[in-house]
Amino acid sequence: MHRKAMIGLGSNLGDRYDNLQKAIQWLENVVGPPLAASAVWESEPWGYASAHPYLNMVVILQTDLEPGALLRVLLGIERRLGRNRQDEEGTADRPIDLDLLGMEDLVFSEAGPEGLVLPHPRMHLRRFVLEPLNEVWPRWVHPVLGQTVQDMLLQCEDSKGPVRVERIPGGMETLA
């Protein structure tokens, strides 16, 4: 079954822009070309202190992969781009972070080491996720909260607003 998957990308170590570009290339090679890609946004780390700001963005992909399989693809891309989750204690700086934010109206929870929950349980609290998601799919309705991305953004209490930096070359159209 084809579903649109929302992937949040973030990088705050190394060549952040290049890390995002490489992650998108891997996603395109393994899953398929993105249907939409947001601008790049810069934000302060969320939930911990660091001198290294993040570059964040959201891409929308069409996939027939099940959530667990798609998560394994994302974790594999992270490893290829230098992220070692075993070395991380809690939240830490990283060359790349790929989060499966949601898959259309799917509500999903899976036990295990990754503990995948869809939609992402904290996405509505994070302005650095909502701003780029609002660019590419503003009318997506959170299947648990019953709110559009626009509504969640208006109600978000995250005071660390990201700053729009630039668009990834070859940007695509916004989804309705």
The candidate with the shortest Cα–Cα distance to 13, out of 54, 56, 74, is 54
Residue 8 lies inside a defined structural domain of this protein? yes
pLDDT at 176: 46
Token pair for residue 3? Answer: 């579903």
For residue 93, the domain's CATH number is 3.30.70.560
Cα 173 from Cα 51, distance rounded (Å): 34
115 pLDDT band (50/70/90 cuts)? confident
pLDDT at 132: 96
pLDDT at 42 over 50: yes
Lowest-pLDDT choice from 22-31, 41-50, 63-72: 41-50
Cα 48 from Cα 69, distance rounded (Å): 29
114 pLDDT band (50/70/90 cuts)? low
Residue 174 lies inside a defined structural domain of this protein? no
Lowest-pLDDT choice from 5-19, 34-48, 60-74: 34-48
User: For residues 169 and 52, which has the higher predicted lDDT (pLDDT)?
Assistant: 52
Residue 51 lies inside a defined structural domain of this protein? yes
Residue 142 lies inside a defined structural domain of this protein? yes
The domain total for the chain is 1
Q: What is the pTM of this model?
A: 0.89
User: Whole domain around residue 98: which residue ranges?
Assistant: 3-167
The residue type found at 73 is: V
Residue 175 lies inside a defined structural domain of this protein? no
Please provide the average confidence, as pLDDT, over all residues in the chain: 88
Three-state secondary-structure class, residue 61? strand
Cα 88 from Cα 58, distance rounded (Å): 23
